């Protein structure tokens, strides 16, 4: 696959693996890294042979958020609003809009916009040594990159407020108890476990998984009646896929389904 300046990329077994690759900076985000991630997410949306995405970090960090040594962001007159509108917002939106499962394998510290990246995935596995920290308040900012949206929904408003205001570190074990992540793994087991799940999901009924993601996204924002109607509309689409027919046929024929993503 094409070379990337800030990422390692692998495409095999219908899984696109994106590894943030600035380990000496704990994979802090630069403009280039954001652009490369967005480009890959676009490709993942168009390429039928990509049926799940796995995102992780090289070295001992997952992602330390905005690269604070990039002074262009802090020059007087720089609008952080346009920095976010052009940089992180489309990246986080693209992760939520991609109708394929995204697993984040959090191998170390996840801070600031790096926490946003971790939370924008659908399913999160973390190494025992991973830690979560808001970061923003530590440099006099408030949460961006979707963190103010994801955090209270995942762990509740009180815990979200404490994390956001104090900048205290949250361990992987605590994060699992709170529902911030799905599973804690010994460090050496993290990638194999996350990859096993990604490969398993990549072999699933991709369209139905994508529509499920669309419904789960929408359910965060709407009332039950609207949610029921929205589910009915999306199920109509799922009901017209080849994978649905295959799923029912396999059940009747008492065999494992062979999903193709069609």
Which of 16, 64, 106, 117 contacts ligand LHQ by CB under 6 A? 64
Among 34, 90, 121, 135, binds ligand LHQ (CB under 6 A): 135
- Cβ distance 232 to 218 under 8 Å? no
Q: Which one of 3-11, 76-84, 202-210, 245-253 is the stretch in contact with ligand LHQ (CB under 6 A)? A: 76-84
Determine if 63 is a binding residue for ligand LHQ (CB under 6 A).
no
* Cβ distance to ligand LHQ smaller for residue 114 or 247: 114
Q: What is the DSSP secondary structure assignment for residue 27, as one 8-state letter?
A: T
**Which 25-44 positions form the footprint of ligand LHQ (CB under 6 A)?**
25-26, 28
* Residue 239 C-beta: closest distance to ligand LHQ, Å: 42
The residues near 61 (Cβ < 8 Å, ≥ 6 apart) are 23, 26, 27, 107, 108, 109, 114
Closest CA to 217 of 98, 112, 115: 98
CA 177, distance to chain mean position in Å, is: 19
Neighbours of 230 (CB within 10 A): 15
One of 8, 9, 35, 73 touching ligand LHQ (CB under 6 A): 73
Alpha carbon 31 to its chain centroid, in Å, reads 18
Residue ranges in 1-156 assigned as alpha helix (H): 31-46, 80-86, 88-97, 113-120, 147-155
User: 253 pairs with which residues across the strands?
Assistant: none
Q: For the CB of residue 220, give the shortest distance to ligand LHQ in the complex, in Å.
A: 22
Cα distance between residue 247 and residue 31, in whole Å: 43
Name which of 139 and 248 has its Cβ closer to ligand LHQ.
Answer: 139
Q: Is-contact 148 119, C-beta < 8 A?
A: no
Pair type for strands 7-12 and 15-20: antiparallel
Q: Is 98 in the site for ligand LHQ (CB under 6 A)?
A: no
Least separation, in Å, of the C-beta of 95 and ligand LHQ? 16
Q: Are 213 and 122 a contacting pair, CB within 8 Å?
A: yes
Q: Of these, 34, 90, 101, 112, which contacts ligand LHQ (CB under 6 A)?
A: 112
Look up residue 61 and give its DSSP letter: E
Considering Cα of 258, then 242, then 210, then 45, what sign does the dihedral take?
positive
Stretch that binds ligand LHQ, among 59-67, 177-185, 186-194, 198-206 (CB under 6 A): 59-67
> Which of 60/218 has CB closer to ligand LHQ?
60
Single out the residue of 6, 17, 56, 66 in contact with ligand LHQ (rule: CB under 6 A): 66
By C-beta, is 127 or 208 nearer to ligand LHQ?
A: 127
Q: What's the full length of the chain, in residues? A: 262
In the complex with ligand LHQ, the residue whose CB is nearer, 52 or 94, is 94
One of 83, 159, 214, 218 touching ligand LHQ (CB under 6 A): 83
Nearer to ligand LHQ (CB atom), residue 148 or residue 260? 148
- List residues binding ligand LHQ (CB under 6 A): 25-26, 28, 64-69, 73, 80, 83-84, 109, 111-113, 135-136, 138-139, 141, 144
């Amino acid at each position: 696959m094409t070379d990337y300046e800030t990422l390692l990329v692998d495409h095999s077994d219908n899984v696109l693996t994106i590894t943030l690759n600035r380990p000496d900076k704990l994979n802090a985000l630069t403009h280039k890294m954001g652009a490369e991630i967005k480009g890959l997410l676009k490709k993942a949306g168009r390429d039928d042979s990509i049926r799940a995405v796995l995102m992780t970090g090289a070295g001992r960090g997952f992602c330390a958020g905005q690269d604070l040594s990039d002074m262009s962001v802090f020059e007087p007159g720089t609008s952080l609003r346009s920095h976010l509108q052009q940089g992180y917002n489309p990246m986080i939106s693209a992760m939520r809009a991609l109708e394929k499962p995204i697993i984040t394998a959090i191998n170390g510290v996840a801070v600031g916009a790096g926490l946003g990246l971790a939370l924008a995935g659908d399913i999160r596995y973390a190494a025992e040594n991973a830690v979560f920290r808001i970061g923003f308040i530590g440099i006099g900012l408030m949460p961006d990159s979707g963190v103010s949206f994801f955090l209270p929904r995942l762990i509740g408003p009180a815990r979200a407020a404490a994390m956001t205001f104090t900048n205290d570190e949250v361990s992987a074990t605590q994060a699992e108890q709170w529902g911030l992540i799905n599973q804690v793994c010994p460090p050496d087991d993290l990638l194999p476990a996350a990859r096993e799940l990604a490969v398993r999901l990549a072999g699933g009924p991709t369209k139905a998984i994508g529509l499920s993601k669309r419904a789960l996204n929408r359910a965060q924002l709407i009332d039950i009646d609207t949610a029921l109607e929205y589910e009915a509309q999306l199920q109509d689409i799922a009901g017209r896929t080849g994978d649905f027919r295959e799923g029912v046929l396999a059940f009747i024929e008492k065999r494992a389904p062979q999903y193709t993503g069609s």
